[in-house]
Structure 1
């Protein structure tokens, strides 16, 4: 499944691909880098809302994503808690959560990002 977003004010299109095959975070990152660009990163609240709508329509609660520190406000309250070495990031309920990297989840890959 492909999703194209245009967020304001920058309005640069991004395309994502949902990989509906369960993988660990490392497997997900490897898959995204080999077949697409990388794990999806989210650049705005509008993108989170759009992606959450897509995931809800496809009956998915959480997916592996990549992460950039500059978007700290997107963490779920109380996250990251790094409890028992949870070092990877999941998009769930419109927020970021830290998860154990060996969990098997679906993956959101970044296909394209114009500059």
Structure 2
């Protein structure tokens, strides 16, 4: 079976599709001046776009991994996440606190989704 990659550079691919599964790289916000809610909204929009490119959508997400610079931000992130996630479609999910790429990065999200 073939492997399809998109947004590929020497370090990573933003999207890898194989055997009916879309694997997304960890996504971060472009506007790092935004607050936690703003960064989360930016990331979820990127995830929507990558899933559409793969031929799937957020209702097909199997797993999500979320890294927060501060676990104190989890309730704020959950408000945005729950508004974005359709009822009954929540994936298996883990949320952890971790140092991120810079002090301005407040959140990073990675998902895996079924295509067929």
For the aligned pair, the TM-score class normalised by the smaller chain equals 0.3 to 0.5
TM-score between both structures, scaled by the size of structure 1: 0.34
Higher relative contact order (CA 8 A, sep 6+): 1
**Higher strand proportion, which one?**
1
TM-score between both structures, scaled by the size of structure 2: 0.34
**Higher helix proportion, which one?**
2
Query: Greater CA radius of gyration, 1 or 2?
Result: 2
